[in-house]
Structure formats: C-alpha cells, structure tokens
Amino acid sequence: MKTPGLKHLYWLLFLGILSTLFHSSCNVSKTERNLSLKERLHSIIDTVPGTVGIAFISDTDTVTINNSVHYPMMSVFKLHQALAVANEMNKRHSSIDSVIHIRTDELDSETWSPMLKTYGDLDFDISIRDLIRYALTVSDNNASNLLFKYIASPSATDSIIRSIADDTAFRIACSENEMKENHTLAYLNNTTPLSAASLIRQVYESSFTATPALDTIRKDLATVTTGLDRLGAIIPQHPELFFAHKTGSGYRNDAGKLVAHNDVGYFRLPDGRTYALAIFICDFSGTEAEASEIIARISQEVYILLMNQPS
C-alpha cells in the first residue's frame, strides 16, 4: 500500500516541477520576444538624426521606445478631433449628417486643403460627416479648422478625449490655423506614442464613443491617402489584412529640423491577431522621404516578427 502512494507523490512532484518549468519558459519567451523586438528597432533608430518614439500594443505584449517624450502630433490630432466631434454631436442629439453653411472668407486658400478643389471660390453647404472625412482621409486643414470653430474647440476636444481615452498622455491646445501663424505652437499639440497607439486601438476594439459616427471614423481611417510611404508601405497586400492609420507631418523649425513626421496605425492580420503601432519622429535633420523610410522599416520589422510567431 505504501509503494503506490509514494509513486503517486513522486508523480505529483514531477508534474509540479514540469508545470513550473513550462510557465517559466513561457515568461522567458515573452521577455525574449520583447527584447528581440526592441533590439531590432534600436538597430534602426539609434543612428537617426532625431528623436524616434515607438509604441506597439498587441493582445499579449506592449513594447515602447522613447515613450517618455511628448511628440508634436501635427495632423495626428485629427484622430482625436474626429472622435471628439462624434462625441459632441451625440451629446447634442444631432446627426453628423447635419449641414453647416460655409463662407469663403472662413477658409484659408494658402493651407493644405484638397476640399477647396471641390468647392472652389463660392460659399457652400457641407455636412459634419464630410468635414470629418476630409480631415481624416486627406488631412484637410480647413476642414479641421471648421470643426474646431463650429463643433468643439481645441480645449473642448482635449477635454472630451481626456474623458474617454484609456491613456491621457496627450495635449491638444491649438488649431491648424494657429500653428500656421506660429510654427512653435506645433509643440503644444503633443502625445506619447503609447497614448496614440492606445487611442486608435480603442477605435477598433471598443465602443467607447458609442455614437453612430464611429463606423464612419473607422472607415475613414482605413481609406487615408496621406503618408502611403510610412506604416503600410512595406506590409504585403493581402485581401484579409486590415490596415487603418492617421498621419501627421510637421514644419521645419528655426534650426532647419523637421518638427514632426508621424504615423499611428491599427492592423488586423489574416489570422485574426491585431496590433496598434505608433511611430513619432521629431526634430529630424533629414528629409521627409528619409523619415518615411524609417517608419516603414520599423513597421516591417514588427510585421515580420509577428508573422514568424505562432498565432
């Protein structure tokens, strides 16, 4: 009777040791993956003539590099703005299909504004939905300025998103028009990479806005036409791979450096895994094409690492 009991005890002890070793190896594997990704990314950014911030969020891992810096967002803030407008319209019990009348003297003909090619030099009516679409898909500055003027100011936008975002390490303080008049104000609209990655992840994995406009925003982000040489440039085209993003591009400061060159995106792989990736480059001495190439290479490294991991 004693022998079977002893064998049973040994067997339980063996299983306990095996379980401990298994869980230990899993934890080491996750750590090694993070270190491996960080090492790969550092090999790209360590010699870059500027500051590069990166945040990667998946279902199992979060990896950041230089996340303590607050980077000028430039047009990335239009993601925050679209969500704030949707939230505000919902609060007013108004539809984003509501129309506002725009006078030509409300528009800046010397800013980036593809919208002007459509509406020309005449007064016109436009829906809030279309202003959101212009602001997101082509990063139209006039559309953004109008949304700040008629729906939610920069400070109101900041307050609204601060009330619904998981990560509030951002600030929105001025409009495109104000930044155009004084380029140094671009540094006031800022974010950490992790905050931006977290927000775009919320857009697709949470119903935090709970508005009819959320589907519109999701579709708009998936049809962005700016910055096609950045996050999605080196990712293979696949009918079952989903990609949505928002870019931001900055001025040259007094030292001749590029204030900002950014992209924040959300990916859904063919096997169903998802991740958010935000890359911010500030005070960069190179060209915009060189900054875009850095973003594309980082995105490629993340994609390759994930595709080599079992789902």
Q: What is the model's pLDDT at position 24?
A: 38
Q: Which residues contact 275 (CB under 8 A, 6 or more apart)?
A: 56, 57, 58, 59, 266, 267, 269, 302, 306
pLDDT band at residue 207 under the 50/70/90 scheme? confident
Q: What local confidence, expressed as pLDDT, does residue 27 receive?
A: 43
Provide the pLDDT for residue 8. Answer: 47
Q: Which domains does the chain have, with CATH numbers?
A: 46-307 (3.40.710.10)
Residues 32 and 221: beta-carbon distance below 8 Å: no
pLDDT at 209 over 70: no
pLDDT for the residue numbered 155 = 98
Percent of the chain scoring above 70 in pLDDT = 87
Angle between helices 214-221 and 77-91 in degrees, nearest 10:
160
Q: Which of 58, 75, 292, 299 is catalytic?
A: 75
**63 pairs with which residues across the strands?**
56
75-89, 119-133, 198-212: least confidently modelled range? 198-212
Mean per-residue pLDDT, 20-46:
64
Closest CA to 118 of 142, 145, 152: 142
State residue 185's pLDDT score: 96
Mean pLDDT of 53-82: 97
Range from 51-60, 233-242, 268-277 carrying the lowest mean pLDDT: 233-242
Cβ-contact 137, 169 below 8 angstroms: no
Poorest-pLDDT segment among 31-40, 71-80, 143-152, 219-228: 31-40
Q: Please report the pLDDT score of residue 237 as a whole number.
A: 82
Is the pLDDT reported for residue 268 higher than 60? yes
Per-residue pLDDT at 121: 83
Reply yes or no on whether the pLDDT at 7 is more than 60. Answer: no
The H or E element that residue 295 is part of is helix 288-307
What pLDDT band is residue 6 in, cutting at 50, 70 and 90? very low
- Residue 75 annotated among the catalytic residues of the structure: yes
> What average pLDDT does the structure give for the chain?
89
Reported confidence tier of residue 21, pLDDT bands at 50, 70, 90: very low
Mean pLDDT computed over 171-186:
97
Answer whether 263's CB lies under 8 Å from 247's CB.
yes
H-helix or E-strand containing 283?
Answer: strand 274-284
Q: Supply the DSSP string of 165-221, one letter for each residue.
A: -S---EE----HHHHHH-GGGGGGSEE-HHHHHHHHHHHHH--TT-STTHHHHHHHH
The reported pLDDT for the residue numbered 33 is 52
Inform me whether the pLDDT recorded for 34 exceeds 50.
yes
DSSP secondary structure letter of residue 12:
H
Cα–Cα distance, 7 to 14 (Å, whole number): 10
70-118 pLDDT, tens digit each = 999 999 999 999 999 999 999 999 999 999 999 999 999 999 999 999 9
CA 292 from chain centre, in angstroms, equals: 15
Q: At what angle do helices 214-221 and 193-205 cross, to 10 degrees?
A: 120
